[in-house]
Amino acid sequence: MSRPTEVLTISPEAIARAAAAIRAGQLVAFPTETVYGLGANALDAAAVAGIFAAKGRPATNPVIVHVATFADAEALVATMPPIARILADRFWPGPLTLVVPRGPNVPDIVTAGGPTVALRVPAHPVAQDLLRACGVPIAAPSANRSTCLSPTRPEHVLRGLDGRIDILLDGGPCSGGLESTVLDITTDPPTLLRPGLVSVRQLEEVVGPIRRQTLPDATIARSPGSMKRHYSPTTPVEFAADDGWEQVAALVDQGFRVGWLAFGKVKVIDTAVIEELPIEPRNYAAVLFEALHRLDDAKLDRLVIALPPESDEWLAVHDRLARMSQTKASRERQRPEES
């Protein structure tokens, strides 16, 4: 169903409008410090159903509920595990999502019928202002069509959702660029369901060893959003264990138009479109989706992505890259001579 999407620049009036829209059951995309979220009143099952429809998201994939404070989080749980307070003191507001036992007031559609709910206090001032102004918790997955690249800029949101949502709060680019870390604290030790901007090392400094369960196939049951194909550009992707240059050259020789997502500086060639990414993990994460959106826009035949190192600080980046791989069949269909 199509409806006009209003794009609002940030002002007190815009926040008030967006808050009223949330309370009225409408859909509002808003910036967070990680990526843009697609928000609806988390206590209104029909409004949350609208999120699933706009994104084309399977009903089996639960959504994160955003709240302004720890006290607001406590209102949504059956019992708050003691470790939650310790983690919240250190990481909230911020890019950590905690999976906890769900309270009776949380609609089924939010949790995909499961016994837990995922909660996060975002740090972005616009997200904070919106939450405080609307006075209800906001369910919000990333503001992209299901399986597509996450949006780190307002124009990325419009690309996927223009005409499918009521309001976009334009807060400019998101500084973090990659989604929150999702940690299940209903298990002992806690289980990492999705690596993100808060690193495993940062978590373990506060709560001791955590269980890592990040292989997509292994986590499907526990965190349905970790299904394998996710965060994908529309252009077929190949990975390179080295700098990628030989793969780029070979593909160019075969007549493909190639995008090269390079790790650090590379020699300049004019036969491929090059994005040189920073070699520091946080800086890399901040621009990864943005660079992939640009390469997708260039409508190329193939992307070659030079893989970053395999160390722990790159866990979240590797997780997102691993989910971008596509099947051989989908690549065959997009050979240059046929497209």
Residues that bind Mg ion (CB under 5 A): 142
- The site partner of 37 among Mg ion, ligand TXA, none (C-beta below 5 to 8 Å per kind) is ligand TXA
How far, rounded to the nearest angstrom, does the alpha carbon of residue 162 sit from its chain's CA centroid? 18
Instruction: Give min distance, CB of 12 to Mg ion, in A.
Output: 29
Q: Which is nearer to ligand TXA, 180 or 232 (CB)?
A: 180
140 binds, among Mg ion, ligand TXA, none (CB under 5 to 8 A by kind): ligand TXA
Residue number, 81 or 225, with CB nearest to Mg ion: 225
Site residues, ligand TXA (CB under 6 A):
32, 34-35, 37, 61-64, 95, 97, 99, 111, 114, 116-118, 120, 140-142, 179-180, 182, 193-194, 223-226
Smaller CB distance to ligand TXA: residue 182 or 258?
A: 182
Nearer of residues 64 and 307 to ligand TXA, judged by Cβ: 64
HEC string of the chain?
A: CCCCCEEEECCHHHHHHHHHHHHCCCCEEECCCCCCEEEEECCCHHHHHHHHHHHCCCCCCCCEEECCCHHHHHCCECCCCHHHHHHHHHHCCCCEEEEEEECCCCCHHHHCCCCEEEEECCCCHHHHHHHHHHCCCEECCECCCCCECCCCCHHHHHHHHCCCCCEEEECCCCCCCCCCEEEECCCCCCEEEECCCCCHHHHHHHHCCCEECCCHHHHCCCCHHHCCCCCECCCCEEEECCCCHHHHHHHHHCCCCEEEEEECCCCCCCCEEEEEECCCHHHHHHHHHHHHHHHHHCCCCEEEEECCCCCHHHHHHHHHHHCCCCCHHHHHCCCCCCC
Query: From Mg ion, ligand TXA, none, which one binds at residue 214 (CB under 5 to 8 Å depending on kind)?
Result: none
Minimum distance of ligand TXA from residue 278's CB (angstroms): 20
In terms of CB distance, is 179 or 301 closer to ligand TXA? Answer: 179
Residue 73 interacts with which of Mg ion, ligand TXA, none, CB < 5 to 8 Å by class: none
Nearest approach, Cβ of residue 5 and ligand TXA (Å): 17
Q: Which does 293 bind (CB under 5 to 8 A by kind): ligand TXA, Mg ion, none?
A: none
Q: Residue 337 CB, nearest distance to Mg ion (Å)?
A: 34
Q: Which is nearer to ligand TXA, 150 or 247 (CB)?
A: 150
Q: Which of ligand TXA, Mg ion, none has residue 193 at its interface (CB below 5 to 8 Å by kind)? A: ligand TXA
